[in-house]
Amino acid sequence: MEQKFSDRYVRLRHKVNLGKKKMVNYDLIFAVIFYGLILLFILRNKKDFQFQGKIIALYRTKLGLNAMDRLAKILPPVWKFLGVISVIFGFAGMGFIFWWLLKGTFNLLFVPDSMPAVAPVLPGINVPGLPALSFWHWVIGIFLVAAVHEFSHGIFARLYGIKVKSSGFVLFGPILGAFVEPDEKQMFKKKKMQQLAVLSAGAFSNLVMGVVFLLLLNFAFNPLMDKFYEADGIKIKQIVDGSPADIMGLEAPLILKEVNGYKTINSSDFLKATAELKPGDETKLITDKGDFTLILVENEKNKSRGYMGVSDFEINTKIKEAAEAEYGIFIPKFVLWITMLSFWLFIINVGIGLFNLLPLGPLDGGKMFYLLALTLCRNNQTKAHRLWGVVSFLGFMFIMINLLPFIIKLLIFLAKPFLFLISMLV
């Protein structure tokens, strides 16, 4: 009887959720407009595009080639020194990201509740520990990171007398990027150290840019945020399926204001309010979506602690009354927007920089590793190619294992409408 009631309750809650009024999804609207304009541009300039595999579109230009040439001629010894530093950082980053993937894969397979070592950074995909990524932050971030990455390849190619045949824009499905096209025949004739400098330059420039944006965040934008904003509760971004919070109808995202009468303005307040909660305790939560009373269960990690089933927290903020009175709404919101852009430029620069250093297939790191393998194998191409293939395969498997939780979530999301229809018919 109890199980039947639970099933009916779940179905009823799904029906209620479907009937709720949805907020306007501005990211979706912007995406439709943006890709509509991109599609219009492609259709009007179709003869200038090169299509590969039906999902890659290349638009070649000469944009930036003169600038690469001029910059390469300014203080060549400095560029060559940076090239050596870039190669050192490149191999250090390669070792770090491969170890990170290996460690993350082991934890994901054998340590309960471990998080994946890598995650897709896309709008609409919730990555625990990170704020939501808006569409424009994603587009601007990806394009700027790709442009800096490819422009750096071009500078070092010209530094060593390698012709850059073209630059341009590329679409990998929905992802907008940039590219430069060095003459590969000329490049393969250069010394290995020079080739390595060209290959590592992109990732190195991304890591440098990441540090720059991190410094901007800490010393420029965060002080501005403190001036305009204050903490206003705990934002909960995930409700665990089947948990007490899920059973009582809590839906993420929501803002937690109080726990058993204790205000939870910031993370310190939240930790104090939940520190003494035990399994079986009746716990009252006050949120921006109403009041809820939960009966806590045992926490699997610590059976003496009560478990609600809420996870992935961040501090919710609001504009200070004094700041709003003095500056209005626009300036504080612009500060928040530019702060988030800087944050994502830091994350994406570091993420893409390290990812490109993976000793994997066609990535910069894969090409660097092949040159290293040639040296280790005394220029025996057969042995070098075999070693490169084994390491590339391992890297690919580690990535797929870590992306599997996100792939499963995507499949579940796509299957939900069909499961709902089946539940209504049963």
In this predicted model, what pLDDT tens digit does every residue of 293-331 receive, in sequence order? 999 998 887 788 889 988 888 888 899 999 999 999 999
Give the CA dihedral 224, 230, 232, 233, nearest 10 degrees: 70
Q: Is residue 328 a part of any domain in this protein?
A: no
Is omega for the bond preceding 253 within 30 degrees of 0, making it cis? yes
Q: Which residue has the higher pLDDT, 8 or 254?
A: 254
The region, left, alpha or beta by phi > 0 then psi within -120 to 50, assigned to residue 99 is: alpha
Q: Is residue 331 a part of any domain in this protein?
A: no
- C-beta separation of 203 from 364 below 8 A: yes
> Residue 285 gets which letter from DSSP?
E
Helix (H, G, I), strand (E, B) or coil at 261: coil
Q: Is residue 348 a part of any domain in this protein?
A: yes
The pLDDT value given to residue 69: 95
The pLDDT value given to residue 149: 95
- The reply to whether 133 and 161 lie within a common domain is yes
- The reply to whether 258 and 203 lie within a common domain is no
Q: Is residue 98 a part of any domain in this protein?
A: yes
The pLDDT value given to residue 200: 97
Helix (H, G, I), strand (E, B) or coil at 170: strand
The pLDDT value given to residue 24: 61
pLDDT band with cut points at 50, 70 and 90 for residue 357: very high
- The reply to whether 249 and 393 lie within a common domain is no
Largest CA distance in the chain: 81
Q: How many CB atoms lie within 10 A of CB 92?
A: 11
pTM for the model: 0.83
Q: Is the predicted pLDDT of residue 89 greater than 50, yes or no?
A: yes
Q: Is the predicted pLDDT of residue 287 greater than 50, yes or no?
A: yes
Residues 6+ apart with CB under 8 A from 107: 114, 117
- The reply to whether 192 and 85 lie within a common domain is yes
pLDDT band with cut points at 50, 70 and 90 for residue 413: low
Q: Is the predicted pLDDT of residue 11 greater than 70, yes or no?
A: no
The pLDDT value given to residue 3: 40
Q: Which residue has the higher pLDDT, 42 or 52?
A: 42
Lowest mean pLDDT among 76-90, 162-176, 208-222: 162-176
Query: From CA 48, how far away is CA 42, in angstroms rounded?
Result: 9
Residues 6+ apart with CB under 8 A from 263: 257, 269, 273
- C-beta separation of 258 from 293 below 8 A: no
Q: Which residue has the higher pLDDT, 420 or 76?
A: 76
At residue 264, what is the residue type?
A: T
Query: Long-range contacts of range 19-27, CB-CB < 8 Å, 24 or more positions apart?
Result: 27/123, 27/124, 27/134, 27/135
What's the average model confidence in pLDDT over 90-103?
96
Q: Is residue 319 a part of any domain in this protein?
A: no
- The reply to whether 371 and 268 lie within a common domain is no
Give kind and range of the element (H or E) at residue 347: helix 330-356
The pLDDT value given to residue 17: 39
Residue 395: domain span? 47-226+337-425
* Beta bridge mates, 7: none
Q: How many CA atoms lie within 13 A of 343 on its CB side?
A: 16
pLDDT tens-digit series, residues 390-400:
999 999 999 99
CATH code for the domain of 300:
2.30.42.10
Query: From CA 121, how far away is CA 353, in angstroms rounded?
Result: 14
The pLDDT value given to residue 21: 43
Q: Is residue 194 a part of any domain in this protein?
A: yes
- The reply to whether 249 and 216 lie within a common domain is no
Q: Is the predicted pLDDT of residue 9 greater than 50, yes or no?
A: no
The pLDDT value given to residue 416: 63
- The reply to whether 222 and 251 lie within a common domain is no
- The reply to whether 190 and 267 lie within a common domain is no
Q: Is residue 7 a part of any domain in this protein?
A: no
- The reply to whether 301 and 258 lie within a common domain is yes
- The reply to whether 217 and 82 lie within a common domain is yes
Domains: count for the chain: 2
- The reply to whether 288 and 192 lie within a common domain is no
Query: From CA 284, how far away is CA 291, in angstroms rounded?
Result: 7
pLDDT band with cut points at 50, 70 and 90 for residue 2: very low
- The reply to whether 202 and 136 lie within a common domain is yes
Work out the angle between the directed axes of helices 2-19 and 381-425 (0-180°, nearest 10): 100
Q: Is residue 32 a part of any domain in this protein?
A: no
pLDDT band with cut points at 50, 70 and 90 for residue 237: confident
